[in-house]
Amino acid sequence: MSVKVLMPALSPTMEKGNLKRWLKKEGDNVKSGDVLAEIETDKATMEVEAVDEGILAKILVPAGSDDVPVNKEIALIAEEGEDPKALASNAPAAQSAPSQVAPVVMASASHAVGAPAPSVAKPEAPGKARLFASPLARRLAKQAGLVLAKVTGSGPHGRIIERDVKAALAAPAPVSVLAFAPPSGPAEPALSDAAIKQYFAPDSYVEVPHDMMRKTIARRLVEAVNTIPHFYLTIDCELDALLKLRGEINKSAPKAQDGTPAYKISVNDMIIKALALALVAVPKANVTFTENAMLQHRHADVAVAVAIPDGLITPVIRQADTLPLSAIANAMRDFAARAKDHKLKPEEYQGGVSAVSNLGMFGIKEFAAVINPPQSSILAIGMGEERAIVKNGAIVAANVMSATMSFDHRAIDGATGAELIAAFKRAIENPLTMLVV
């Protein structure tokens, strides 16, 4: 039987991907572990590894193809005893003939991830969809009350394995659906490309096609604005004590063998920590909204906006409230470096209860950011600058920054939002509290 290679799902929410390039050509021998192709999603470039042996008989989706749906056949592999040329010439017929699905493994461009051996499924009753799942995945789903039919499998043969169940449990289904489904109700139609181009002379612009990241950013921002009722609160924070403590921490940092500091704390690292502590201090704000319940979190997972040449990505510092500043600093340095190379894994940039977006280094005094589902808030940080303030009846100079927080009004009321941003201000202006964890 021919072996079908399908477009793999990188995450439970992935629907399409770009087939960037083939690393094998038709007629090449394929061994288990060989990298067949590179798949580009909106956030990362991943490799497809084969775990079956044979000959790559036919490439069904050429390199450079955009928006290839998940589970679409992208290639056929001839197994031992099959004629690759005959299989290639009869590719349409082969797609309708009985064949098995080639298990593939998604891995980062620098790290391959192993996959368990495929299991033999029992014949299903007529008319009933076949569901492949490992025993451990079934047990975890049963314990959590999760319907396996709603989980996308990333294992061999589309099999649902442990990591798929955990990913589905970590991402609340109602919110994930909300984030990717078009808003309900009538909406004002957007201008067509042709209508927009009529406003400009044909030779006055260069047309640069959108990549997947820009398409995803555009779609998610429109959905966020249309489906999340935002409200905004702004507060000023004095930074003098924080800047002094930061200097002392960095000065006393231990040195590695090559003489470089073991860590270097940035103001942004301390902002992340302060927000995490504020979220835990105000449990009613450390929440995620779903249609049927409010998810109140025990710890604070804080996403951080990182600008990259072709867009934006938000890696998540998990349980930031429990981490020392040195761990946050090193994690952010690692995330920023790998984000620019599109090497972040999906679990490293998905989820989070709140986020930090800092444009202070660009001289921006204050701004309001758009919430990224499933998060319920986002903190927009402006630049720190010397300002004249009044203390004890006297005008003095102080380093001050403005912070604006956007809230999902379905999850967080005005008074709770005010309590949260006030708790953030206390942590920023009393930075020693960040060291007591």
Please report the pLDDT score of residue 239 as a whole number: 97
The answer to whether the CB of 332 falls within 8 A of the CB of 317 is yes
What is the C-alpha to C-alpha distance for residues 104 and 157, in angstroms, rounded to an integer? 8
Smallest CA-to-CA distance from 51 within 136, 7, 115, 108 is with 115
Smallest CA-to-CA distance from 428 within 263, 246, 223 is with 246
**Digit-coded pLDDT (tens) for 334-343:** 999 999 888 8
207: which 2 tokens? 């047309």
What is the C-alpha to C-alpha distance for residues 245 and 251, in angstroms, rounded to an integer? 10
List the chain domain ranges. 3-166, 229-435
- How far is CA 187 from each of CA 77, 190, 192, 387, rounded to the nearest angstrom? 46, 9, 14, 44
Please report the pLDDT score of residue 55 as a whole number: 85
Distance between alpha carbon 198 and the CA centroid of its chain, in Å?
36
Per-residue pLDDT for 254 more than 60? yes
The CATH number of the domain covering residues in 3-166: 2.40.50.100
**Digit-coded pLDDT (tens) for 174-227:** 333 333 334 444 555 678 898 899 899 989 999 999 888 888 888 888 989 999
What is the C-alpha to C-alpha distance for residues 71 and 132, in angstroms, rounded to an integer? 15
124: which 2 tokens? 């299903």
Distance between alpha carbon 2 and the CA centroid of its chain, in Å?
35
The answer to whether the CB of 95 falls within 8 A of the CB of 32 is no
**Digit-coded pLDDT (tens) for 31-87:** 877 888 888 876 677 777 776 788 887 888 898 888 888 888 888 887 776 776 776
Smallest CA-to-CA distance from 385 within 238, 234, 235 is with 238
The CATH number of the domain covering residues in 229-435: 3.30.559.10
More confident residue, 106 or 76: 76
Per-residue pLDDT for 318 more than 80? yes
Per-residue pLDDT for 117 more than 60? no
Q: What is the mean pLDDT of residues 133-145?
A: 74
The answer to whether the CB of 61 falls within 8 A of the CB of 68 is yes
Strand partners, 233: 405
Please report the pLDDT score of residue 175 as a whole number: 33
What is the C-alpha to C-alpha distance for residues 417 and 282, in angstroms, rounded to an integer? 9
Instruction: Tell me if the pTM is above 0.85.
Output: no
Per DSSP, the residues of 23-64 read: SS-TT-EE-TT-EEEEEE-SS-EEEEEE-S-EEEEEESS-TT
Please report the pLDDT score of residue 50 as a whole number: 76
Say if 3-166 and 229-435 have the same CATH topology: no
Please report the pLDDT score of residue 90 as a whole number: 67
Say how many C-beta atoms besides its own lie within 10 A of residue 317's C-beta: 25
The answer to whether the CB of 375 falls within 8 A of the CB of 356 is no
Q: Is 210 a catalytic residue?
A: no
What is the C-alpha to C-alpha distance for residues 398 and 376, in angstroms, rounded to an integer? 32
Share of the chain above pLDDT 70, in %: 81
What is the C-alpha to C-alpha distance for residues 418 and 76, in angstroms, rounded to an integer? 58
More confident residue, 166 or 344: 344
**Digit-coded pLDDT (tens) for 321-370:** 999 999 999 999 999 999 988 889 888 999 999 999 999 999 999 999 99
316: which 2 tokens? 């998540």
What is the C-alpha to C-alpha distance for residues 180 and 13, in angstroms, rounded to an integer? 8
What is the C-alpha to C-alpha distance for residues 364 and 280, in angstroms, rounded to an integer? 28
- Return the minimum-mean-pLDDT range out of 86-100, 125-139, 337-351, 378-392: 86-100
404: which 2 tokens? 């604006």
